[in-house]
Amino acid sequence: MTDYPDVDERLSPDFDDSHAWSMFYNISEANQCQLYRAARESGLNVPIMSRLACLDQIDSQMTDILVLPSLDGLTREQLTRLRRLHAAGVALVACGSIRGLEDVFGVQEAPRTIHLQEIKSQAGQKELVQPVNLDLHYKAAGARVLLYGQDQAEPLIMQKDRALLLNCTLALVNVDTFMDRVQYGRESISRLLFELCQKSLLELARPVMTADCGLSAFSDGKNDLALLIDYSPMRQIDVQEKITSYKLTLPGRQYKTATCDYCEFSPNPVYEGDFIKEIHVRLRPQETMLIKLD
């Protein structure tokens, strides 16, 4: 959900480059960009809804996870709608303020600034990061901490049941910067932080199937049909020539055949024992494939 409030906009002098250009960003937008990348590279589909006013148009049958911008300014009716979605099984992932839903996320408001140099996961993994002054907004009050800063003293990511909170701006948690500007250095984002986001999204989504980045895979879970759509980058000149290979993974499903009646390249199933573990497919730019699973 990409309805970003102005109150989330920041100007950081910590990353001034040689031209004295500071980093200007919106907390919600910066966090959602990283979550979008984490979801797509994990094989998850990411539909985008642009307005909080559209909340009435979704339900638990069509939505596994709802990634929220800051909730400052939401009406009581909108907050109630979010509570109902969560109670119905929709996971909530918050990228900024959760004012009015602190109990759902198991936190209390506690704004402060820390000097961050190291992060540590709940499992004990550690990573040094570029020293930065980092704004935190909440403390745990029932939520478990998935990622700490400063030797388990400060919570960076917290979770309570199916509610996940990013307690900082992810783009500021870096190993290093590229061209002295955080927004130029996609790969400079902390690997430990990024992989934790991927793992958390997959656990919350519980997908029927996942696919390589660049391929969207859909299934209603009833008719044993998989719809694949190629979204890989392309130039117009590539339309007739480019062919991309993908891997479709089917966790926990028991199928023995995978067929497509109308496709240029037939799906190639890979078996584990008697059942299909994954399916390799080839698609041209923007091409679709409908696979029947038995």
Report how far residue 284's alpha carbon sits from residue 294's, in angstroms, rounded to the nearest whole number: 25
Residue 67 has pLDDT above 70, yes or no: yes
The 3-state secondary structure of 254-291 reads: CCCCEECCCCCCCCEEEEECCEEEEEEEEECCCCEEEE
- The whole-number average pLDDT for the span 29-42 is 86
Q: What percent of the chain has pLDDT over 70?
A: 82
pLDDT tens column, 199-240: 999 999 988 888 887 888 888 667 688 889 888 776 766 667
Strands 210-211 and 268-272: unpaired
Residue 31 has pLDDT above 90, yes or no: no
What's the number of CA atoms in the CB half-sphere (13 Å) around residue 212?
15
* Helix or strand (DSSP H, E) at 156: strand 154-160
- The whole-number average pLDDT for the span 56-72 is 89
**Tokens 């990411």 sit on residue:** 46
Q: What pLDDT does 161 receive?
A: 96
Q: What is the pTM of this model?
A: 0.82
- The whole-number average pLDDT for the span 46-74 is 85
Short-list 262, 261, 280, CA closest to 270: 280
Q: What pLDDT does 188 receive?
A: 59
pLDDT tens column, 97-138: 999 999 999 999 999 999 999 999 999 999 988 888 889 999
CB of 182 within 8 A of CB of 23?
Answer: yes
Short-list 254, 250, 289, CA closest to 43: 250
Report how far residue 289's alpha carbon sits from residue 282's, in angstroms, rounded to the nearest whole number: 9
**Which fold, 6-205?**
Rossmann fold (3.40.50)
pLDDT tens column, 71-81: 888 889 999 99
- The whole-number average pLDDT for the span 256-264 is 92
Q: What pLDDT does 180 receive?
A: 44
Q: What pLDDT does 143 receive?
A: 97
To the nearest whole number, what is the mean pLDDT of the chain? Answer: 84
pLDDT tens column, 177-205: 544 444 454 455 788 999 999 999 999 99
